[in-house]
Structure 1
């Protein structure tokens, strides 16, 4: 019986060291070396203070800021510990109520892009479409007492284009725009 147990225990020890230690540490070293910003969560800092991440949205509701998508996460908006969509159907009263409240807050007579009145699948989306950003320019400029062209410049500087020119869509990082407007990001 010992001759059957010994190879099993040796195999367990080898695979534990190899796949529980060496492989994860090698992967960590490669990612930290090749992609240090992404490996650390794509954090945005103001000096030594972490302001947020390029990958997780934040809840901006003040009129001087660009507003992102609605968040369907539990307990608080953009709570990464409770990432999920609302799973509401298009006729669900709760979805209709949230969309109507956002439309009222936007106070615009133009067509509103759907990404401003619905939540993303994760509830954490940090991006909105360029069209969703564009309809907010006047409100932000008036509230801040700056020109609309200054707001558009902040939006243009924070717009990411499709990867390789074909993958995905153009998108605007809401946190980056707001930091540029506050003068905390160049």
Structure 2
């Protein structure tokens, strides 16, 4: 191959590289950015940022916590649902807990200092959140398969099994999520004629694991979104039901009438998308900002 031919080929390749770099690296990104600034697309393209007095306070598409430095709920604000994304609502660590409905047994582990620590199952996490929300909002926190102490109501029934897998004559019954170091009296005294004991750390894995429904209502006062995290961990919305049980606390903290709070909630409640997709929802950040604007909190 002649040197001149080799040079022409490489110059053509270089020109192609420069043209494609300009198109894909400069022209295309600028065109997409320009389209994103069109009215109607501008807000979403820029992250749906919400500003107050020129200061960014959040995004209407990403949830956030309304707590103090110690993680306690601020009484004047509506609370968001829980988040499993990093330390909470971290867009760089969006995720769910990946725990499912069969995760019902707590375990005893150790913390970073090597001290004993109870690792809560999904069921116990839900139960404890329900009690926490109920205590904060002044409602009944009882829910199916939860003890009154806020852990999963689960038994391990040991003994010979029948053909169908049932243990008709148990030799021992353990309340697996009530550890003896914490609870001395299990949520249930007797099961199939056998006294129920607390979990003393012995192996109960050979027993039949049985969740106990209990006497809680099928429709708990604390709604599901108040005790579970979203799949992304970034959900900025709560259900109207969760908002409703927070109204009295907000009204008391801001020294206004509960009907005034309900009016603001109604203004920020959106129905199903297109009338049939999803569920009705309330954007927590926008709701709290509107409350601050209408009824400023006086400490």
Q: Same fold (TM over 0.5)?
A: yes
State the SS of the aligned residue for 2:132.
helix
Look up the SS of the partner of 1:172 in the other structure: strand
How do residues 1-186 of structure 1 correspond to structure 2 at under 5 angstroms? 1-2=6-7, 4-34=9-39, 35-60=41-66, 61-74=73-86, 76-90=87-101, 91-92=103-104, 93-107=120-134, 108-109=139-140, 110-183=220-293
SS, match of residue 33 in structure 1: coil
Distance 1:184 1:148, change over 3 A: closer
Residue deviations 1:90-146 (CA, integer Å, cap 9, x gap):
225342343223212221224322111111111111001112212222232233332
Compute the TM-score of the two structures, normalised by the length of structure 1: 0.87
Cα contact 2:225–2:242 (8 A) shared by 1: yes
What SS does the aligned partner of 1:122 have?
A: coil
Aligned length: 184
Superposed CA RMSD: 2.1
Task: Give the helix-richer structure, 1 or 2.
Answer: 1
Unpaired runs of 5+ in structure 1? none
Q: Using a 3 Å threshold, how does the CA distance of structure 1 residues 171 and 70 change in structure 2: closer, same or farther?
A: same
Could you report, residue by residue, the CA deviation over 1:11-67 in whole angstroms, capped at 9, with x for unpaired residues?
Answer: 322221111111110110111123222222111111111111101111122233211
Larger Rg: 2
How far apart are the structure 1 equivalents of 2:251 and 2:264?
A: 11
